[in-house]
Amino acid sequence: MTTKELYTKGARIWVEHPVKVWEGATVTSDYRSGVLIVQLDDNKEIRQIKIPDEGRMPPLRNPSLLIGQNDLTSLSYLHEPAVLHNLKVRFCDRNAIYTYCGIVLVAINPYYDLPIYGDETIMAYRGQSMGDLDPHIFAVSEEAYTKLERERRDQSIIVSGESGAGKTVSAKYAMRYFAAVGGNASETQVERKVLASSPIMEAIGNAKTTRNDNSSRFGKFIEIHFDNQYRISGASMRTYLLEKSRVVYQSAGERNYHIFYQLCAGAATEKMPELQLDHQDTFHYLNQGGSPEIDGVDDYKTFRETKNALSTLGVTESEQRSMFTVLAAILHLGNVELTSDPDEMQLDNQDGAYIRPNDKHLSIVCSLLGVSKPELSRWLTHRRIASAHEVIVSRMDVQRAVFARDALAKRMYGKLFAWLVQAVNRALDTGNAKKHFIGVLDIYGFETFEINSFEQFCINYANEKLQQQFNSHVFKLEQDEYIKEEISWKMIDFYDNQPCIDLIEDRLGVLALLDEECRVPQGSDMGFVSKLHDKCSNYPHFLKPRFGSAAFIIKHFADIVEYQCGGFLEKNRDTVLEEQLECIKSATNCRLIHSMFAESPSDHSATLPPPSRRRTTPSVPLASLTQPPRRTSTQKQTVGAQFRQSLSALMATLSATTPHYVRCIKPNDTKQAFQFDAARAVNQLRACGVLETIRISAAGFPSRWLYQDFFYRYRLLCRFKEIDRGDIKKTCSSILQRYLKEPDKYQFGTTKIFFRAGQVAYLEKVRADLQRAYCVRVQSCVRGFLARRRYTCIMRAIRGIQAYARGHIGRTKAQEIRRERAAIKIQKHIRGWLARKRYRKLRHLAIGLQARARGYLARKHYKEKRYLQATITIQRYARGYLARMRVRRMRRQIIVAQASIRRFLARRQYKRLRIEARSIDHVKTLNKGLENKIISLQQRLEHAQDKAKAIEPLQAQIVELRSKLEYLKQVEIEARSLKVDIQDKDNFLIFLKEELAKEKENNKRLAEEKSQIEMRYKKEKEAKEAENEKLANELKSNKEHFELLIEVLDTYVYNINRVMKQA
């Protein structure tokens, strides 16, 4: 097929997009001379694309039949946009997180708990082939288990992807599947221990990063062992690349390992005061990231889960206490303050390290471990330099001392991690026979950041080795498939990353030069980079940065990565002062220390570098140092060499197994459920080698059809007389020879037909065009047949109508007359009946209303009379009360008037007597008689005065009592009057209340009766109106029906007359 045949009007293609990476478009006119005019699917924009070379045409889109396929290699067009679109459709539209890509399972993290991992799902995939059911991690696990049984060859599942892509979860479900299908009653305990190891390894090996709240900071290879009956007999674990630098330093927004925060949260509650742990923010090793909390995670709760898991794996309570003691000692060691010695300020060593004697945290470390405080304090600030003739002990500067302290903390944590891994392996080792195993590898995916260091170099080196193993395995499978089907084939050109691996592993490669620089007494990071620029420049995968000389660039299979040389040598050495180690090993309070630091070939340590004048802050533990440490005569293997050996052993193990690949993809950085970021996904697909797998498949024959499937799909492309069901292969050959003119576009195998990329899509297009043409031919024939049959039926119907039309018209006319008369009669009776019914109803309502109104008026009149009577009674009592009050007032006034008159008369009599007394004659007359009387009276008076003196107090009391008695009598009279008035008013008030309650009750009853009457009247009115309306509608419908019948009959008569006239 030529370009003009493919890029015609209506062809669907992909065009590049700056955000969505690729977007769909449709060709609006045939391709001509380097110009292609397309219309975008989203905004309908017309765009003109210039094609400088026909080999760089826009990718074609697959037919709708192939969209959403379970296997990406089933797509006719295998390229980046097709793969990306197929994954997006499955993930976003169908919520399918798993997709096959040949032998690779692509798993997209949904950030949502899907119900697809239950025991029912496990049993559904048991015994099924990979293509029988939807893609699933259980399908890959079943394939590995089946091959283990059938081929008696060890298997491996390699899970890779970047942080947060779901690697650990996929590996966990794979192990759960093996435990379910390969376990029995005794193996249930093994499964329980395997599951219990997860929270332990997460606690000591996982941490919060900016990309993932539970990021695994180490790689692991778990071997699940099986016996001769293919039942689980045990398990073991190997770990790689623990990020020990995280123990002493964390970037912004990140945390240290979970176990530290769990221990701080649980120390107080679990009654461990001897650890002397405070809040996590008080420790230097925990507060550098500024993000101590994880949303939705309770550190104390996870601490309890970690302790339970340790107990499940047989770690005793004493060992747990010792482990927590070591962790607490590491935290307190990080808080030991190293400052300049004030006593040495006048000497040359002005920045010599010094620890205050009263340093609290140093005392806690020594008491926890049981080591000598002077010794530990000394070797945290001093170092020993051995020469040929003597040994010199000198003080370190603050920077060196901080680095030495952090190196010791990292070494202690690394040893504790290794001890726990050994404890897990001891618990998982049942001692039963181990004939075969299935390995599950969970390791970092390819990493590239703004600043890449030694950790990223090792991770990407491991991924290069895994990608090489993957490429060779995929190519071998393709080759085996072609040989099995006996087709002619040529070598497929695929990306070989062996040159990149040579750059790293050669005698003059990166690792060798790094180890060499570590052995040089004055070796430095800058010296290491200089050697790389000098001796590795001839490697095609090595580049020098355009700016700066403290970095180097390697062209990896996934991306070009620039590595900063700062800290390479120190991280590769992983040095700790021997004196510090000996001091820690002398611990008497923690027996676990002796188990952790048991001698092994890799346990030898080296001295630190000589002092430096340059100052640094303690929060940067991995800074590059211009003066590297000198090595002692006892050399230990470098981290790079150890990792290379362990990686070689891992590759040997994987090469001896049948590998199965799971590539985990992180769909977005915001952790939103079923949100697909195309740009992020494409970068990960490139990094994990999925697109390279697609390219290898596309370079060969990616589309493969069984002969029978191809025959049933495309047999309509063959003439009926050429179909030979006895020889389906011959029929398929005739189809392909007719439509695919180039023989190299397909190959006939033993059981399958192999197609180059795009050929199946072309056959689909031809098939669709033929189906469209055949449908048009069939439709035209069917439409003609239906039209003829309809005409015959119409003629037959017309003849029948002509035979019965006249009689029908007569009968209809007579029936219409009868119905009209009957309708008039019915209307007359109905109108009369309705009028009578309405009159009776109105009369009944009027009588009822009158009765209610009369009763209402009577009650109202009675109420008014009673109100008037009550008013009169109130007035009577009020007038009586007012009259009595008036009489009392008048009586008081009369008494006052009488008193005034009596006083006036007394005064007048007194005046008259005084006048008479003044008369002389009268006085003389009276004197004589009076003198005698006076004398007698004086005697009597004296006698009376004597008696009066005795009676005088009693008379005063009598007068006072009489006045009080008179006042009380008046008060009693007024009280009796008021009491009578109050009683009368109370009686009248009670009477009024009773009358008012009765009136309220009557009013309420009348209101209810009124509302009931109104409701009854309203319902009866509505019922009558509805009945009237129903009768009116019936009459109207009858009338319309009669009119319609008349029109139909008139139409029939008219048609019959016209037909008869034409006849």
Enzyme catalytic residues? 163-164, 168, 212, 215-216, 445, 447
Task: State yes or no: 223 annotated in a binding site.
Answer: no
CB of 569 within 8 A of CB of 400?
no
Distances (CA, A) of 832 to 828, 840, 859, 1027: 6, 12, 40, 15
Instruction: Please return the burial class of 1023, using the count of CB atoms within 10 Å of its CB with bins 0-12, 13-18 and 19+.
Output: exposed
The DSSP line for 459-528 is: HHHHHHHHHHHHHHHHHHHHHHHHHHHT-----------HHHHHHHHSTTSHHHHHHHHHHSTT--HHHH
- List phi, psi (to 5°) of 662: -125, 120
CB of 265 within 8 A of CB of 281?
no
Closest CA relative to residue 330, chosen from 275, 397, 254: 275
Q: Cα–chain-centroid distance for residue 719?
A: 58
The two counts, helices (H) then strands (E), for the chain are 26, 23
Neighbours of 852 (CB within 10 A): 14
Amino acid identity, position 737: Q
In the DSSP assignment, the letter for residue 90 is I
Q: What is the rounded distance in angstroms from the CA atom of residue 313 to the CA atom of residue 427? A: 5
CB of 183 within 8 A of CB of 232?
yes
Closest CA relative to residue 174, chosen from 200, 193, 156, 152: 156
Closest CA relative to residue 310, chosen from 326, 321, 300, 325: 321
CB of 992 within 8 A of CB of 868?
no
* Axis-axis angle for helices 639-655, 454-485 (nearest 10): 20
Task: State yes or no: 167 annotated in a binding site.
Answer: yes
Token pair, residue 608, equals 């630190």
The DSSP line for 272-300 is: -GGG----GGGSTTTSSSS----TT--HH
Task: State yes or no: 198 annotated in a binding site.
Answer: no
With helix as H, strand as E and coil as C, how does 710-769 read? HHHHHHHHCCHHHCCCCCHHHHHHHHHHHHCCCHHHEEECCCEEEECCCHHHHHHHHHHH
Q: What is the rounded distance in angstroms from the CA atom of residue 604 to the CA atom of residue 599? A: 8
Give the strand pairing for 104-108 and 658-665. Answer: parallel
The DSSP line for 220-266 is: EEEEEEE-TTS-EEEEEEEEE---GGGGT---TT--SBHHHHHHHHH
For residue 22, list its beta bridge partners.
16
The DSSP line for 588-621 is: SS-THHHHHT---TT----PPPPP-S----TT-T
Task: State yes or no: 161 annotated in a binding site.
Answer: yes
Task: State yes or no: 282 annotated in a binding site.
Answer: no
With helix as H, strand as E and coil as C, how does 926-948 read? HHHHHHHHHHHHHHHHHHHHHHH
Q: Which value, to the nearest 10 degrees, does the dihedral of the CA atoms of residues 730, 732, 737, 740 take?
A: -160
Q: What is the rounded distance in angstroms from the CA atom of residue 604 to the CA atom of residue 1036? A: 111
Task: State yes or no: 168 annotated in a binding site.
Answer: yes
The annotation places the binding site for ATP at 161-168
The annotation places the binding site at 161-168
